[in-house]
Chain A
Amino acid sequence: MADTSFLSDHSMDRRTFLRRSALLAGFVAAGGGSFLSACSSGGGASGDKGPIKLGVLTDLTGALAYAGVADANTAKMVVDEINAKGGLLGRQIQIFLEDSASTESVGVTKATKLIQQDHVDLVVGGITSSMRQAIKGPLVERGKTLYIYPQLYEGKECTPLIYCSGPVPAQQVDPFIPWLMQKTGAKKFYLPSADYVWPHTLNGRVRQVVTASGGQVAGEEYFPIDATDYSTVVNKIMSSGTDVVFVTVIPPGITPFLQQLYTAGFTKRGGSVACVYFDENLLNIVPAQSMEGLYSCLDFFQNIEDPFSKQILDAYNTKFPGSAKFTAGSAATGVYRGLKLWEAAVKEAGSLKQQDVVKALDHAKIAEGPGGPAEMVPGQNHARMNMYIAQAHSGSYTIEKNLGAIDPKECVQGVK
């Protein structure tokens, strides 16, 4: 029951918001003296007339709600901005928001609804890789719909029609690990992980980079996704003389893991913790003391010195002052980047015809975005973006290094 009332609240917002923004768009267009397009050349799933339909499918409830709500908020913010400026190709964008409830089977049902009932032109969403794998069937393989996956992940998603706007291992691991080893003098790594595809694949890359940089992996262990007690692995970490814990346990287990690691005295004896999805939203679910000194590597942190990033952040905080913040590890920056790249592509294509949009999206560029400019690397379905290394200090992150623009190196012919 709570779920439905939650969603209907949103659709109420959407209706009133649409009415207002349609009015506003009318004024803008009339004031400018030229209608952009009386009959826009459409061709997308939503047809030629009426609003462009954007499906937002994310985890509004469940363990990942902290991220999903931020993603939905970000999509609304971007769409409001576009609509307030007269829409895209003169058409308003309408959001179809669905909750995948941090549960894959729910995601599949909602994905099918977006395609078969709502006929959306584009879907953005999904947080975990298991969710992406589950919903790409109904969205892309059967639904033949363009899908933007906004979250950092393990890479290797090269299905046509899927575009990834978050960072991948080449961006998160390759520069980060050697930097960390040099900075802390660390040699020995331990990789406690949740047992699903992201940690398995990412750890493979971590192992490679650690070994190549002259380090050593003392242990790599996988836990059931719903595991809550990590005292054994914490004990092993303590007794193996590990320098860096590179953790890929996810919520809700990450809270007890970090608490247990902290109380075991790992950081007190000089150990470092690294977790590449840690952002400002995690400050809400892990006590500050347990994540003091934790290193993360992401495409955006709220403290970076980029005027446009600050502008986006301010706009978001004014619009959505709640606890779900605009952050990178929660895929909010990926949603922003993905939608703006898509907007650029639609503008270039001058139509919503999928083949035209895809052709333009393949090399789409935005001059400014969260963390800086970004662009799709042609033929790779992934984006080049700026990356930053940051460290958690008493409830916020300080930027340790701006790594600059980094290539995703995904879906390259002949390279795995």
Chain B
Amino acid sequence: MDVPRLAGIAFDVLSLSSILVLLVLGMGIIVSMMGIFNLAHGELVLLGAFTVYLAHKVGLGVGLGIVLAPIVVGAAGLLLERSVVRHFYSRPISALLATWAVGMMIRESVRAGLHGRSEVVVAPFSGTFAIGNVYLSQWRVAIVLLTVAVIAASYLLLQRTRVGLQVRATLDNASLARASGIATGRVYALTFAFGSALAGLAGALIVPLFALYADLGVTFLVRSFLAVMVGGVGSFEGPILGAGAVGLGSGVLPWVVAPVLADALVFVIAIALMRFMPNGLVHRG
């Protein structure tokens, strides 16, 4: 196999993994910190994409839309946590159903807003970089770089700041954190809002690669869920590694088997992995 071809595959894997990392980062933070699988996560991604579309539609431009998306979706996440999610911290199974219901409401509202159509959102820049006879999409390269930046920023926020310390304290031992004067309710709300904002940013960044339609979020939900499970719940780096593993599988397998089969095979491999590493690739503590 020649070098440019290998470079092409490597870039595919990198770009797929970056997209997945963006998608699972918020989900991973919420599940790790709060013990809740947010099944409305896909719809928060969709809301981010929708925000960009609206911004473009009213003439603010796609670039500004991408900046606005995490803010809008973060606020939506805050609202969601205060109104619904906070009632379910002690009942994670009920939380699955509740968040799924919320997700469905968002999804169908967007479907109605789009009149059931799919819309195109064009990336702020859509050119290509040519390396030999391999062409790399500039927007995909931008996504890879932004993903690295987002990971670094989230890591610093959680590991190096006072807010991060409070979040980690609350996660470790909520009652002790409360006793030490940390407003755990507020920490939960802010963590959820932060995770949601990341979902919104992910939606805003990926929508130019695909198209805006009501099921955009839900198509990625199962894969994100899988990535979090493979990576391991409870650590910051687990979901990221999981996303990398799922991205690697999704990028390489279609070269070996038929694409329809590759989709299923990713799941089979992931399930096998979970059987032998039940705590995920990264096990905390």
**Chain B, 181-223, CB within 8 A of any chain A CB:** 209-211, 213, 215-216, 219
**What 0/1 pattern do residues 279 to 306 of A give for CB contact below 8 A with B?**
0000011110100000000000000000
Interface residue count for A (Cβ, 8 Å)?
43
User: Knowing A232-B251, A285-B211, A289-B126 touch, does A222 contact B116 (C-beta < 8 A)?
Assistant: no
Counting CB contacts under 8 A, is A269 at the interface? yes
Q: Choose from A65, A227, A233, A252 the contact partner of B115 (Cβ within 8 Å).
A: A65
Q: Chain A: which residue is nearest B2 at the CB level?
A: A239
Q: Choose from B120, B133, B139, B209 the contact partner of A285 (Cβ within 8 Å).
A: B120
Residue pair A269, B255 in contact (C-beta under 8 Å): no
A2 CA to B107 CA, complexed, in Å: 13
Q: Choose from B111, B118, B127 the contact partner of A252 (Cβ within 8 Å).
A: B118
Residue pair A265, B126 in contact (C-beta under 8 Å): no
Counting CB contacts under 8 A, is B258 at the interface? yes
B8 to chain A: which residues have CB within 8 Å? 235, 238-239
Residue pair B5, A239 in contact (C-beta under 8 Å): yes
- Which has the most chain A C-beta neighbours within 10 Å: B111, B138, B210? B210
A101 CA to B74 CA, complexed, in Å: 32
Residue pair A226, B259 in contact (C-beta under 8 Å): no
Q: Choose from A6, A66, A233, A239 the contact partner of B117 (Cβ within 8 Å).
A: A66
B258 to chain A: which residues have CB within 8 Å? 221-222
Q: Choose from B5, B126, B209, B215 the contact partner of A256 (Cβ within 8 Å).
A: B209
Residue pair A233, B259 in contact (C-beta under 8 Å): yes
**Cβ distance A251 to chain B, nearest Cβ, rounded Å:** 6
**Chain A, 76-124, CB within 8 A of any chain B CB:** 101-102
Counting CB contacts under 8 A, is B84 at the interface? no
B12 to chain A: which residues have CB within 8 Å? 231-232, 235
A195 CA to B134 CA, complexed, in Å: 28
A224 to chain B: which residues have CB within 8 Å? 259-260, 263
Counting CB contacts under 8 A, is B130 at the interface? yes
B146 to chain A: which residues have CB within 8 Å? none
**Cβ distance B7 to chain A, nearest Cβ, rounded Å:** 10
B133 to chain A: which residues have CB within 8 Å? 238, 265, 269
Counting CB contacts under 8 A, is B227 at the interface? no
A320 to chain B: which residues have CB within 8 Å? none
Counting CB contacts under 8 A, is A229 at the interface? yes
Counting CB contacts under 8 A, is A60 at the interface? yes
A239 CA to B139 CA, complexed, in Å: 21
**Cβ distance B115 to chain A, nearest Cβ, rounded Å:** 7
Counting CB contacts under 8 A, is B62 at the interface? no
A177 CA to B260 CA, complexed, in Å: 27
Counting CB contacts under 8 A, is A347 at the interface? no
**Cβ distance A137 to chain B, nearest Cβ, rounded Å:** 25
**Cβ distance B235 to chain A, nearest Cβ, rounded Å:** 27
Counting CB contacts under 8 A, is A142 at the interface? no
**Chain B, 246-285, CB within 8 A of any chain A CB:** 250-251, 254-255, 258-260, 263
Counting CB contacts under 8 A, is A264 at the interface? yes
A239 CA to B134 CA, complexed, in Å: 9
Residue pair A255, B16 in contact (C-beta under 8 Å): no
**Cβ distance B149 to chain A, nearest Cβ, rounded Å:** 22
A260 CA to B120 CA, complexed, in Å: 14
Counting CB contacts under 8 A, is A216 at the interface? no
Counting CB contacts under 8 A, is A223 at the interface? yes
A265 to chain B: which residues have CB within 8 Å? 128, 130, 133, 135
A227 CA to B140 CA, complexed, in Å: 18
Counting CB contacts under 8 A, is A367 at the interface? no
Counting CB contacts under 8 A, is A259 at the interface? yes
**Chain A, 187-243, CB within 8 A of any chain B CB:** 195, 221-224, 226-229, 231-233, 235-236, 238-239
Counting CB contacts under 8 A, is B112 at the interface? yes
Q: Chain A: which residue is nearest B211 at the CB level?
A: A255
A251 to chain B: which residues have CB within 8 Å? 118, 211
**Cβ distance B253 to chain A, nearest Cβ, rounded Å:** 8
- Which has the most chain B C-beta neighbours within 10 Å: A101, A263, A265? A263
Counting CB contacts under 8 A, is A62 at the interface? yes
Residue pair A263, B211 in contact (C-beta under 8 Å): no
B176 to chain A: which residues have CB within 8 Å? none
User: Knowing A224-B263, A226-B219, A232-B254 touch, does A252 contact B213 (C-beta < 8 A)?
Assistant: yes
Q: Chain B: which residue is nearest A102 at the CB level?
A: B116
Counting CB contacts under 8 A, is A1 at the interface? yes
**Cβ distance B19 to chain A, nearest Cβ, rounded Å:** 8
A157 CA to B128 CA, complexed, in Å: 44
Q: Choose from B111, B122, B126 the contact partner of A2 (Cβ within 8 Å).
A: B111
A251 CA to B211 CA, complexed, in Å: 9
**Cβ distance B128 to chain A, nearest Cβ, rounded Å:** 5
A66 CA to B15 CA, complexed, in Å: 31
A231 to chain B: which residues have CB within 8 Å? 12, 15-16, 251
A140 to chain B: which residues have CB within 8 Å? none
Counting CB contacts under 8 A, is B76 at the interface? no
| Interface residue ranges, B against A (CB under 8 Å) | 2, 4-5, 8-9, 12, 15-16, 19, 111-112, 115-120, 122, 126-128, 130, 133-135, 137-140, 209-211, 213, 215-216, 219, 250-251, 254-255, 258-260, 263
The 10 closest A-B pairs by CB, nearest first: A61-B116, A2-B112, A265-B135, A263-B137, A232-B254, A255-B211, A252-B118, A231-B12, A239-B5, A256-B210
| Interface residue ranges, A against B (CB under 8 Å) | 1-2, 6, 60-63, 65-66, 101-102, 195, 221-224, 226-229, 231-233, 235-236, 238-239, 251-252, 255-256, 259-260, 263-265, 268-269, 284-287, 289
Please name 5 further chain A to chain B contacts, defined as beta carbons within 8 Å, in addition to the given A259-B126, A263-B138, A264-B128, sorted by A numbering: A60-B116, A61-B116, A228-B219, A231-B15, A231-B16
